[in-house]
Chain A
Amino acid sequence: MRQRAWIGVLGPCLIWSCAQRPPDEVTVQRGLASTADSSNQKWTAFDESLVAPLWLGDDDKGALIAPLYRGAAVAIEDFVFVPPDHDCTDVRATLRIDWDSHKNQVHYQVKYKKVPVHPSVHRTEGVDFFTNPAHKSPASFDDGGFRFWTILTAPTGLTKNFYYDGATLQFVGSEYDFPNGPPATAFPVSLPVFTLFGSKLYFANADGTMFHEYTVPYDHVTAEGGIFALAYTSFIPLDLCESNSVQPTLGQLRPWASPWQPPSLAANWKDVLHGGAAFDTTVDQNLPFPETFGFEPYVYSGIAFIGNAVAPQGGVPNGAVVHLSSIILQVAPALRPIVGGNGTGCQSFVAEPHVTAPRFCEMAQSGGRR
């Protein structure tokens, strides 16, 4: 197995010097080490040169080192953040995750450059913000912070029940909203969900650099702090009449997230490695919720910034994005250039909005094609 061979050669060099190795390899090791060394939180030449994920080791002990780019891993209806100067040329990050099942540790390190010190978001209803009762994130805020997310994108067959009113076909809540059972007039629709878990809020240095690290158990991969395990997320129709079950991307798809789940539901890191992991840094409100370690009630803000999807070969290059609608529809290609690019003059935008859709049920009643 490639990963096992790699850790044998590279692994020790990530920590110790490799003076006996050929010069070219030493360069690599120093580069890797500079990313690995948590005492060196500054952006290095190696960080600058990293353009593809590196996988080291195996499921039990290894590392992932990956470049992160603005807008590379965003979800349906995410608002993609832009720096105030609209220059995304140097907006970058690198991620290093080391795992060791014997030490029962998964250690995250994320290093950024050129992020705004006081990120603010101002959105307009109906333009770049769409009120969503299933996901009550704020339209606007000032002086926010950042949060790092791991999202498992591979289909697992896991579903949750979503309830719709029998008369209006409107979404009335998920199984988490009705612990004592749904309203008598509601009926359930089972839809696939995905899992995500994140870090605490963190903030940029005055020079626009930023570094954050934390450790979670290998056999119990929780959100940072361990209070919660994960949350479920999905994209659901709020109005079933605007839904198309045959080809969901033709219909309405709005973000939904469950409440935070207890630590007992935390995943094993091995499952994360096999779960099509994607990563994103969101911009979040700076709100004190000490009882939940700073996690807002809406779980994730939906304001995407810097990330990557590392499961596909090559990850996502700078300026590209995994196009979720193509993934859902299983059409090629999965990668598309992001709106406006990642150079000077970059813009904020709403990714793949499916806020409204044709009224399929009424079209069907009138004999029209869906």
Chain B
Amino acid sequence: MRIQRRLTLPLLTVALTATAVTGWASDSTALRDLFDASIRYTDKVEFPDRIGDLGDPTRGQASFGIGADGMTLDSSQALFQGLSQVGGTVVSNGRTCATCHRPGTAKLGLPPLPLSSTVPPTDPLFTGLQADTGVEPQGLPNFDQLGLLFHRPTRLNPFFPEDSDSRQLFFWRKTTRLVNTVFTFGFLNEGRMRELVETSRGAVFTHTQNGDLRFDDLVAVQRLQDISRFMEDTIDPPELQALLDPTDPNYQALVNDPFATVHPTTQLQRQGENVFQHYCMDCHNMPNVFSNRDHVNAPPHAGPPPYGHSFDIGVAERNAHHLEFRRFDPATGQRVQLILPLIAQDGTIVNLPVVDDVGLAGGTFRYEDLHKFKVPQLRRVAQLGPYFHDNSAATLADVVDYFNGDQYNQSVDGRLHPIHLNAGDREALLAFLQIL
């Protein structure tokens, strides 16, 4: 695999040498290199985290909140509420999965921004917003104008005191459009969820009611498996289905030729394919899907998250929208700095003032996971904007220009995978991305 063959050994060598010879154990770069090399990944094109036949896609669509026509919103079979043994009386706020993951041109994502231009204020998208934002005053404007939802990744963790910084940690995240979900390892923007049942369960707990209580007994595993299967079936283009089954006659062809289902028709698009292959496939290396193919060489639940391979490309540190990451205290009306105790590879605790999106570290509390995010799939990418976890790139041109700029090339993983395009390369790459 390109990235690992090219990088892993030199990185590890330098890091080990540094720690052994100079006592450089406290250097965060060396520790990050050791951390990155310490996992047992495989790049085999396999999807052991699939729900597959454990779920029913038709029932899943109904539980997702989409009617039988595949286009209309229908919450009649999609609410989670009632009397819970552990959560008490749970009253739904009317939201379903499809409230944010809308069918049709939205490709199971949010409608165009600002949301209020097409969604009435009486829609559960807005009326249920307090489930996510709580007392955060920026919750509504950031959601409406930027399409960013307020998330607290440790919200349901009862082992942290409720008012602790660790429990109150938050970030602002886009709603991912659910295209080719089955071909990615790890879920949500940073991949902190290992498989779709876990992901769906967390979404139900956090988006459909106010409060931090779980109500596991109202969220039957079978319904979650049905919802997961429905999401797994959102495969586009359909011929990618062959990648799910090694016995499929087309499986090997799609594995061997990463562009087998991509059909450039112009010289510029063909040139763009070469540019993509040269500069982008260190990370976007899943054949024909262009997500990342690394995953833990074991079942998803063999260890705590993450299951896939995430990267720090500098987008979080850029914080292009100048998003607020200090907690709002309603008692004083003031912002309060959150301090996150992250565990570094050498065992030291790094008390990190949260000034931007901490990325995967918000789920693992590992310092070396700071600012890491998942590699998204790229099929139909021209229809999937805005881009990055914080919707900070409006167009594909913005994306390409970001990767071609200093912010990316000076980021932790950008230094390892530099990208420098001339004007012709840039134009060609954009032409290629349009046909994915």
- Contact A6 to B8, CB < 8 A, known contacts A250-B86, A314-B38: yes
Q: Is the CB of B347 within 8 A of A342?
A: yes
The verdict on A333 contacting B37 (CB below 8 Å), with A276-B298, A317-B346 known, is no
A5 touches B346 (CB 8 A): no
Interface residue A145 (Cβ < 8 Å from any Cβ of B): no
Least CB distance, B173 to chain A, in whole angstroms: 15
Least CB distance from B206 to A in Å reads 12
Nearest-neighbour CB distance to chain A for B223, whole angstroms, equals 15
**Closest Cβ of chain B: how far from A252's Cβ, in Å?**
15
Number of B residues, CB within 8 Å of A: 65
Q: In the complex, are the beta carbons of A274 and B299 less than 8 A apart?
A: yes
User: 8 Å CB contacts to B: which residues of A271-315?
Assistant: 273-276, 309, 311-315
Known: A3-B40, A55-B40, A327-B304. A247 touches B214 (CB 8 A): yes
Name the residue in B153, B298, B302 with the highest tally of chain A Cβ atoms < 10 Å from its Cβ: B302
Known: A28-B12, A52-B34. 6 other contacts (CB 8 A): A1-B1, A51-B25, A54-B38, A313-B366, A323-B159, A329-B158
Q: Which residues of chain B are within 8 angstroms of A309 by Cβ–Cβ distance?
A: 303
Q: In whole angstroms, what is the CA distance A230 to B5 when docked?
A: 37
B88 CB–A CB distance under 8 Å: yes
Q: Is A202 an interface residue (CB 8 A)?
A: no
Contact assessment for A320 and B198 in the assembled complex, using a CB-CB cutoff below 8 Å: no
In the bound complex, do residue A332 and residue B364 qualify as a contact, i.e. CB atoms below 8 Å apart?
yes
Min CB distance B310 to A, Å, is 10
Q: Does B407 belong to the interface (CB within 8 Å)?
A: no
Measured between C-beta atoms, what is the minimum distance from B169 to chain A in Å? 10
B303 touches A27 (CB 8 A): no
Least distance between B2 CB and chain A CB atoms (Å)? 11
Q: Mark B327-363, 1 if CB is under 8 A from A, else 0.
A: 0000000000000010111110100000000000011
Cβ-based interface call for B392 (8 A): no
Assess whether B217 is interfacial by the CB under 8 Å rule.
yes
- Establish whether residues A317 and B344, one from each chain, have CB atoms under 8 Å apart when the complex forms: yes
**Contact among B9, B35, B44, B159 for A331, CB-based, below 8 A:** B159
Residue-wise, chain A 247-262 has the 8 Å CB interface mask toward B (1 for contact) of 1001000000000000
Mark the stretch among B14-22, B108-116, B224-232 that contacts chain A. B14-22
Shortest distance between the CB of A294 and any CB in chain B (Å): 31
Closest Cβ of chain B: how far from A160's Cβ, in Å? 19
Give the CA-CA distance A48 to B362 in the complex, in Å.
30
**Which chain A residue shows the least CB distance to B361?**
A333
| Central interface residue in B21, B40, B44, by most chain A CB within 10 Å | B40
In-complex Cβ contact of B19 among A49, A335, A369 (8 A): A49
Taking CB atoms, residues of chain A closer than 8 Å to B35 are 52, 313-314
* Identity of the chain B residue whose Cβ is nearest the Cβ of A29 in the assembled complex: B13
CB-defined contacts of B38 to chain A, threshold 8 Å: 52-55, 313-315
Neighbouring B residues of A49 by C-beta, 8 Å: 16, 19-20, 25
B43 proximal to A (CB < 8 A): yes
- B28 at the A interface (CB under 8 A): no
Question: Once the chains are docked, how many angstroms separate the CA of A27 from the CA of B22?
Answer: 12
Q: In the complex the two chains form, what is the Cα distance from A29 to B222 in whole Å?
A: 50
Residue of B8, B16, B216 touching A246 (CB-CB under 8 A): B216
A117 to B217, CA, bound (A): 50
Give the number of residues in A that approach B within 8 Å (Cβ atoms).
62
- Can you report 22 residue pairs joining A to B where beta carbons are below 8 Å apart? A2-B1, A3-B40, A6-B9, A31-B20, A52-B35, A52-B38, A55-B38, A244-B85, A276-B298, A276-B299, A313-B306, A314-B366, A319-B347, A331-B157, A332-B153, A332-B365, A333-B154, A333-B363, A333-B365, A333-B366, A334-B304, A335-B366
How many residue pairs bridge A and B at CB < 8 Å? 186
- Give residues in A with beta carbon < 8 Å to B: 1-3, 5-6, 9-10, 24-25, 27-28, 31, 45-46, 48-49, 51-55, 59, 69, 153-155, 244, 246-247, 250, 273-276, 309, 311-315, 317-320, 322-323, 325-327, 329-337, 342, 364, 369-370
Please give, as numbers and ranges, the residues of chain B lying within 8 Å of A3 by CB-CB distance. 40, 42, 297
Chain B interface residues (CB < 8 Å from chain A): 1, 4-5, 8-9, 12-14, 16-17, 19-21, 25, 31, 34-44, 84-86, 88, 153-154, 156-159, 192, 198, 201, 214, 216-217, 296-299, 301-306, 341, 343-347, 349, 362-366, 368
Structural contact, A2 and B41, CB atoms closer than 8 A: yes
- In the complex where A323-B159, A331-B156, A332-B157 touch, is A317 in contact with B303 (Cβ < 8 A)? no
Asked whether B31 lies within 8 Å of A154 as measured between CB atoms, the reply is no
Instruction: Point out the residue from B17, B44, B85, B344 that lies within 8 Å of A1, measured CB to CB.
Output: B44
Residues of B within 8 A of A314 (CB): 34-35, 38-39, 345, 366, 368
Cβ A155 vs Cβ B301 within 8 A: yes
Contact of B349 among A246, A275, A323, A337 (CB under 8 A): A337
List B contacts of A332 (CB < 8 A).
Answer: 153-154, 157, 192, 305, 362-365
CB of B270 to closest CB in A, whole Å = 30
Q: How far is the CB of B36 from chain A (nearest CB, A)?
A: 8
Given contacts A9-B9, A332-B157, contact A273 B303 (CB under 8 A): no
Task: Name the CB-closest residue of A to B21.
Answer: A27
Let me know if B302 and A276 touch, CB within 8 A: yes
Residues of B within 8 A of A53 (CB): 38
**A318 CB contact (under 8 Å) in B217, B341, B346:** B346
Q: Are B37 and A318 in contact (CB under 8 A)?
A: no
Q: Which residues of B contact A153 (CB under 8 A)?
A: 302-303
Complex contact A154–B302 (CB within 8 A): yes
User: Closest residue of chain B to A313, judged by CB?
Assistant: B39
Residues in A whose Cβ lies below 8 Å from that of B25: 49, 51
With a cutoff of 8 Å between Cβ atoms, the chain A residues found around residue B88 in the complex are 369
Q: Are A45 and B20 in contact (CB under 8 A)?
A: yes
Distance, CA A31 to CA B12, complexed state (A): 13
> Chain B: which residue is nearest A309 at the CB level?
B303
